[in-house]
Amino acid sequence: MLETTFTDEEAVAKVGRAPGNEVRALLTLLSGQVPNPNNVFCRDVGSNGAPLNSKTCQTQVLDALGFAYAQLKGAFGDEANWRWGRQHTLTFQFVVTGYPLIDPGFTPGPFPRPGGAWTVDVGRPTNLSSSTLTFAYGSGGAVRWLAAMDGDAAHTFNQLPGVQNSNAPYPFGSSTMLTDWVQNKYFNWPFNPGDVTSVRTETFSP
């Protein structure tokens, strides 16, 4: 919907895609908050900006739905096979990927994930084109922190996407932390000094 509505005008203006702005503009146009007698943006325009037709915003919505349905049907068949998580996946990258002497090749995934670019549990896809059905993560929430506003540290929880190492001595084990993060499972977060039950010291030397 965003692509078919705005890319022609953006090309005329010689600006790149800005999905956040496109969403706000589309909601404004569809809500009727501003007069739109000439179907600005919703109509298709040529490379010189001249209108090619008089499409309305509602027509663009119907066209986009029809296109999306046909594309999904052709790729995945019956609607029972349509699963967002099959295309919206997350693969973790080691912090020094690409450096052969220190890169262990640890890239767990892909993991199926819910959410999207503007959901609470953000998982922004890298792909902005309707020509493909690949929506792997481009970016998302790293730290998830929950707390009840009651002053009780026992009601404070956290979740991290896991240490980027698959071996000991990390306390939770990378696979466990990654799995919990993917499944949105939280651990109790020791918030006050008295909540700390153990301390471990590691000494590094040249």
Assess if residue 113 is contained within a domain.
no
* Exposure string for 36-60, b = 16+ CB within 10 A, e = fewer: eeebebbbbbeeeeeeeeebebeeb
- What digits encode the pLDDT tens for the residues 147-196? 888 877 778 888 887 654 444 444 444 457 778 888 888 888 877 788 77
pLDDT tier at 65, thresholds 50, 70, 90: very high
Q: How far is CA 130 from CA 3, 32, 122, 150, 192, in A?
A: 8, 26, 20, 46, 49
Assess if residue 73 is contained within a domain.
yes
Assess if residue 144 is contained within a domain.
no
Q: Are 136 and 144 in contact (CB under 8 A)?
A: no
Assess if residue 27 is contained within a domain.
yes
Assess if residue 31 is contained within a domain.
yes
∠ CA(170), CA(144), CA(180), 5° rounding?
50
Rounded (10°) angle between helices 57-76 and 19-31:
130
Assess if residue 93 is contained within a domain.
no
Q: Is the pLDDT of residue 41 over 90?
A: no
Question: Structural domain tally of the chain?
Answer: 1
Supply the mean pLDDT for the chain.
81
Assess if residue 63 is contained within a domain.
yes
Domain of residue 16: give its range. 2-81
Assess if residue 10 is contained within a domain.
yes
Q: Is the pLDDT of residue 94 over 70?
A: no
